[in-house]
Amino acid sequence: MTESSLTPVREHNTLRAATSFLLRNSHIVALIVLLAVASLASPYFLGTRNIMNVLRGAAPMLIVSAGMTIVIISRGIDLSVGSILGFSAMLIGVLMPYGAGIAIVAALIGGTILGLINGLLITKLRLQPFIATLAMLIAARGFVYIATDGANIVMRDSPAWFKAIGSGYLWTVPIPVLIAFFVWLYAAYLLSWSRLGRHIYAIGANEEAARLYGIPCDLVKIKVYALAALFSAIAGIIMASRLNVAEPNVGQLMELDAISATLIGGTSLDGGIGGVLGTVFGVLILAVLSNILNLLNISPFVQMVLQGVIIVIAVVMSEMRYRAKS
């Protein structure tokens, strides 16, 4: 072949490599572009106070999304994380008169129990994850409304240390951001370095092969849904602490944000592919987008439309990223 005949082939390979690179790192590129646009669109965006508010607001979503990432890697889905968050926040409000420590422990245990129920419904009754967690979404929110009678529970006697969980700082870093970081660190360790993490990826990639290999698939799934619920309970504690109020509607639609962030970050709905590092970028993309729309006084109804568009784009990008790797 002559040099001139090889040129189109090289150009095609270069274009294909560039496209593959952009698909693999689309969440990183998207965040960089969004940060640049946001800084130009509003002079207040890069202010320290605004940045800290963005990170503080994103912390509960990052915690919930870390649990969602683990679930989706196992080839499941959890639509109940927002309701479990609200359930845990409700327990905080109801039990606060008996002591903040008791309320926090009850919220963690109560949320985890709901996750265990999800796992048992999926593994023992063989319900589809979509159906089981949808039922829990409705039931858990129903418990919240029954306990609160649809009204806010104001925690007037909550101690200062409890309020600091959601509103305090350690040096210049908001405490919720630190909590989210340690939850993310644990999730990253779990997926990358633990036996349970290897089992989660194996089940997500091919459950039947994992079962034949000797992996206790049902037990792993129960642990996955319990862990996702525990993360949601932690986020619920942060929300209740920050607001100092147990709102019956807190956490509604957060499951959609968590799914969006997980898919934007590169985790595949087909299971077995992804990680919590990409989810961090997904959460930041959604948080920055929401913040800049608020700074520009964009209607919340328009923001809901954009959220739907983002979910579609995230799924399409996830599939394109998967095909580029295969």
- Tell me the pLDDT tens digit for each residue of 186-222: 999 999 999 999 999 999 999 999 999 999 999 999 9
Confidence (pLDDT) at 44:
78
List CB contacts of 280: < 8 A, sequence separation 6 or more.
62, 184, 265
In a domain, residue 21? The reply is no
Cα–Cα distance for residue pair 146/148, rounded to 1 Å: 6
- What average pLDDT does range 9-17 have in this prediction? 61
In a domain, residue 174? The reply is yes
In a domain, residue 197? The reply is yes
Cα–Cα distance for residue pair 86/153, rounded to 1 Å: 12
What are phi and psi for residue 174, nearest 5 degrees? -60, 135
Cα–Cα distance for residue pair 63/178, rounded to 1 Å: 11
Indicate the residue type of 309: V
Q: What sections of the chain are H helices per DSSP? A: 3-24, 26-41, 48-73, 81-95, 100-123, 129-148, 160-167, 175-193, 195-205, 207-212, 217-243, 254-264, 276-295, 300-325
Domain of residue 148, residue span: 48-251
Tokens of 18: 């560039």
Q: Does the pLDDT at position 6 exceed 60?
A: no
In a domain, residue 22? The reply is no
DSSP 239: H
Confidence of residue 21 (pLDDT cuts 50, 70, 90): low
Confidence of residue 147 (pLDDT cuts 50, 70, 90): very high
In a domain, residue 38? The reply is no
Confidence of residue 120 (pLDDT cuts 50, 70, 90): very high
Q: What is the pTM of this model?
A: 0.91
Q: Which one has a higher pLDDT value, 145 or 323? A: 145
Q: Does the pLDDT at position 326 exceed 60?
A: no
Are 41 and 51 contacting, i.e. CB atoms less than 8 angstroms apart?
no
3-state secondary structure of 135: helix
Are 89 and 194 contacting, i.e. CB atoms less than 8 angstroms apart?
no
Task: Give the count of domains, the chain.
Answer: 1
In a domain, residue 246? The reply is yes
How does pLDDT run across 247-265, given as a tens digit for each residue?
999 999 899 899 989 988 8
Are 274 and 265 contacting, i.e. CB atoms less than 8 angstroms apart?
yes
In a domain, residue 31? The reply is no
In a domain, residue 79? The reply is yes
